[in-house]
Amino acid sequence: MLKKFLPNEHVKSVFEISPSKLKELGIKGVITDLDNTLVEWDRPSATPELVEWFADIKKNGITVTIVSNNQEPRVKEFADPLGIPFIYEARKPLIRAFNRAIREMNLQKDEVVVIGDQLLTDVLGGNRCGLHTILVVPVAQTDGFFTKFNRFVERRILTWMKRRGMLYWED
């Protein structure tokens, strides 16, 4: 059961995810979380570096959909200026929003990766849906109330996995 929390990859930030490498692997779509994955949870818009990363993703023929548990105004304010489709109030780790994103991108599951900063929402949901998951280090060290609880549980799970030799990265 706890293996469902194990991501396929772990990187420090989305900027370590190479669009050209994704393309080589046959990836045509990215489902990404928003808050603390792409930008700090309280930053309303993309940084110039992130805008450039999205442009590189698009240049490589890869479609992006933001799937967030946050409310519509927050996600819309971020996604609309970038022209990126989004799903809000996704209720991750439930798989309905992941499946909807895959369907709307008109792709197959083996052509899509999930990028997120939380084991209990992004990784668990992506794994439950049968997708390749990439865990990123949170952009900010501060979180909302529910995310703080999730981080506490995540630390327990990561400690358990580390003791069993399931992790290959350092915290």
pLDDT tens-digit series, residues 57-109: 999 999 999 999 999 999 999 999 999 999 999 999 999 999 999 999 999 99
pTM, whole model, 2 decimals?
A: 0.87
SS3 86: strand
CA distance 62 to 30: 7
Per-residue pLDDT at 42: 85
User: Which secondary structure element, helix H or strand E, spans residue 65, and what is its range?
Assistant: strand 63-67
Domains of the chain: 2-163 (3.40.50.1000)
